[in-house]
Structure 1
Amino acid sequence: MGERHRAEPVSNIDNRLKALRVAKGLSQGDLAKSAHITRQAVSSIESSQYLPTTAVALRLAGVIGCRVEDLFSLRATGEIVIGELVGEQDRWDDNQMPLRVKVARVEDRYVIRPVTALGELLAYTVPADGLLVANDVSAKARGKAAKRARVQLLRDRRIIEQEIAIAGCDPAIFLAGEYLRRYKETATVTGWTMGSSAALEALKRREVHVAGLHIVDGKTGESNLPYLRQHLRGDDYLIVTFAAWEEGLIVRQGNPKGIRKIEDLSRSDVTLINREEGAGARHLLDQRLEKEGMRNRDVRGYNLIADSHFQVARRIAEGQADVGVGVRSASNMFGLDFIPLQQSRYDLVVPKPYLTAHPSIGNLLEAIVSRQFRTEIEALGGYDTTETGKIRQLRPE
């Protein structure tokens, strides 16, 4: 069998079972009885004589009240990998402290992004895959967008290579990642927040495995496919519906400015917070402004930019703006009011070869069609999972 299928040696596992058992005030006998195994088995596991099966590890974690990875985790190997640094590379140089990064194996190369690009909150909750220890400015000097960089891994490389890098703007993708872990314990999702067109371009540059987008064609009213047919060459892509969601105007709680329709955005007492060019929400706004015969300069705050649906809602909740175009779930998160404009479909775009080369992607697609996942994201508000998992034809037959 190949390297990926070899059993993990006990010597490469950090075992914290005894420490957490003692902290919980349990004897070996207590733990064994509750986990339905023998005391001798507990003793052998604690002394690292053998590794428990997945079922036993789950029972042990359940008794102690923690996650399996709190009990057992792979030791950092310190292995060095070389890849392409994308994102905020100009904000780091060799004289600074090591930079925390995420590493994705995309086709035949590693793609490296600073953890800080995940945002202010996730940067402190998503563990790094490694530390950027050196880079090569020669690539930049040749005018290339990415730089070669060296990363000292903090996690086992084989585990890192199971991660799925997804570009898009639906925050529910992180929830999908947690459901993926139920299918494959070591696989995770890293979601890079960016607008629809930027996500697709990142996929075309082979910086991510999956791109998510929601762009409604102004002429046909069809979601995504007209845009994809215009911007993707060939047919070697799988288009899978993640969910449909409501898009509309997010306004302050109680709607104190009495904003009801797009025309109200031209009022002098109304300040908009906008999304970046290429975002699905920006696309919707521009369509509606054109339909009403309004110009960008007629809207106060048109050039005030937020880089996610949540940031739009947060800026409105903090009183920095009166209105923005976004999704209902973001409005609900911050207790704001919502005026629906349309329902659009959020689709995932995956190069077909990745389904074979990266089996975790197939597990993710299975996770999102599960009844439990669909029920949970519908509870967020504004989501319709009726067509979740449906495959779309990129080219008309």
Structure 2
Amino acid sequence: MKQHDLYNNLKQIRLRLGMSQQDLAVIAGVSRQTIGGVESGQYAPSTTVALRLAKALGCQVEDLFWLEQDTPQIEAVPAQHTPTGKALRLSLARVGDRWIAYPLLGNDAFRMEMIPADGEGKYDSSSSTQVKLLDDLEKLHHTVVLAGCTPALSLWARAAERWHPELRVHWTSDNSMTALHRLCRGEVHIAGMHLYDSATQEHNVTFVQAVLQNNTAVLINLGSWEEGLMIQPGNPLNLKSVEDLTLPGVTIVNREIGSGSRQLLERSLQQAGINVKSVKGFEQIVRGHLEVAHAIATGKVTAGVSTASVAAAFGLEFLPLHRSRYDLVILKPYLDEAPVQQLLSTLGHRRVLSQLEALGGYDTSQTGEVIATVEPMSNTNSKRAKY
């Protein structure tokens, strides 16, 4: 197999563990130049070196290295007419002797499912409760709990479960601040967030610092995305800027306090010198990106703030306002847990990156990289250097 067909996730995993190239070289018993050559793709490691690297990082060889084959193609019949003529995300199924392609558009792109229960018991405000197990206890040990608002988290979770069949990812849809507080209360392993501090011109770090309490957290990038105004198809009122939200006949829906979308709307209105009371629907609250898109797509409102990928999925017009960085916040001790390591190991894989890029509006150039390590009770954060 040609050398350029071999891909690796070595740099992302090394940085998440806070190791320099020299640190890893010493533990694995190889030279620093070897580490640099493997990470850059200029050197294909021998079986011995690959095993040493995996052992040093506490993971499997297949978590570090994989072969990228040419993407196969099949002939499929569209399940319904799609007049867009654009490239679409598709779901495929074999029906009889034909492959059928189902367009992932609108509500079809986001499935609601009844989730099988792991147990049952009384649920109240008590500090603990007795739960009757309905599934094998061993399976529950392979669960990672992920909180955040972007549907891309669910997409990532399902892709990771395919790669690691024993892994279970439980995703809860929470806005950025709610997810962060849940992380600090010990309710989830990973919190996803996209908040911007105008004073420092930094994403997420200052908010993590403020809520962190007595924990050390690592911020890992999921991707960067375009945030802005989603508008009814065809933009019938010809909206061109945030200022147009005050025009007669324009109404919006807003997100709840603590969400990145609401923060962006408030900041954009303030920069434009617009009083929020001048925007009809500012106090009309829905929870989640999909609810915003559904309200616009069904004609209930004219516009709302979300991402380019959600707009594309619902066939809505999009007016960009800000490129936001979406980070995954993880308490440092959780990085040692095997299920968390398995989930994070998939971030740099081409299969996951391709899924994110196919959504539209996503920049995956930093996906899987450690953005910052934030220490408690301090106004400083240490940022990892790129090698």
TM-score (normalised: structure 1): 0.64
* CA distance in structure 1 between the partners assigned to 2:360 and 2:120 by the alignment: 38
Q: What residue number does 1:153 align with? A: 133
Q: Deviations over 1:252-299 (max 9, x none)?
A: 110111111111112231111111101000011111111112222111
Q: Give how far 1:160 is off.
A: 1.5
SS at 2:192's partner residue? strand
1:396 to 366, 381, 384: 381
Q: What residue number does 1:343 align with? A: 323
Q: Which amino acid aligns with 1:368?
A: L
Q: List alignment gaps of at least 5 residues for structure 2.
A: 1-92, 95-109, 375-379, 383-387
| Aligned partners of 2:161 and 2:169 also within 8 Å | no
1:360 and 2:350 correspond: no
Q: What residue number does 1:122 align with? A: 112
RMSD: 2.0
Q: Which has the larger radius of gyration?
A: 1
1:306 to 286, 294, 300: 286
Q: Give how far 1:131 is off.
A: 2.6
| Aligned partners of 1:268 and 1:300 also within 8 Å | no
Q: What residue number does 2:199 align with? A: 219
2:148 to 168, 177, 183: 168
1:195 and 2:175 correspond: yes
Q: Which amino acid aligns with 2:169?
A: V
Q: Which amino acid aligns with 2:344?
A: L
Q: Deviations over 1:196-230 (max 9, x none)?
A: 01110111111111100000112333211122222
Q: What residue number does 1:331 align with? A: 311
Q: Which amino acid aligns with 1:337?
A: E
Q: Which amino acid aligns with 2:116?
A: P
Q: Which amino acid aligns with 2:202?
A: E
Deviates more, 1:174-183 or 1:209-218: 174-183
1:184 and 2:164 correspond: yes
* CA distance in structure 2 between the partners assigned to 1:302 and 1:260 by the alignment: 18
* CA distance in structure 1 between the partners assigned to 2:141 and 2:299 by the alignment: 42
Q: What residue number does 2:47 align with? A: none
1:277–1:383 distance in 2 versus 1, CA, 3 Å: same
SS at 2:181's partner residue? helix
* CA distance in structure 2 between the partners assigned to 1:184 and 1:123 by the alignment: 21
1:256–1:163 distance in 2 versus 1, CA, 3 Å: same
* CA distance in structure 2 between the partners assigned to 1:147 and 1:220 by the alignment: 39
* CA distance in structure 2 between the partners assigned to 1:278 and 1:178 by the alignment: 26
| Aligned partners of 2:219 and 2:329 also within 8 Å | yes
1:279 and 2:269 correspond: no
Q: List alignment gaps of at least 5 residues for structure 1.
A: 1-64, 67-119, 141-145
Q: Give how far 1:309 is off.
A: 0.8
Identity of aligned residues (%): 36
Within a 5 Å distance, the mapping from 1:34-53 to structure 2 comes to none
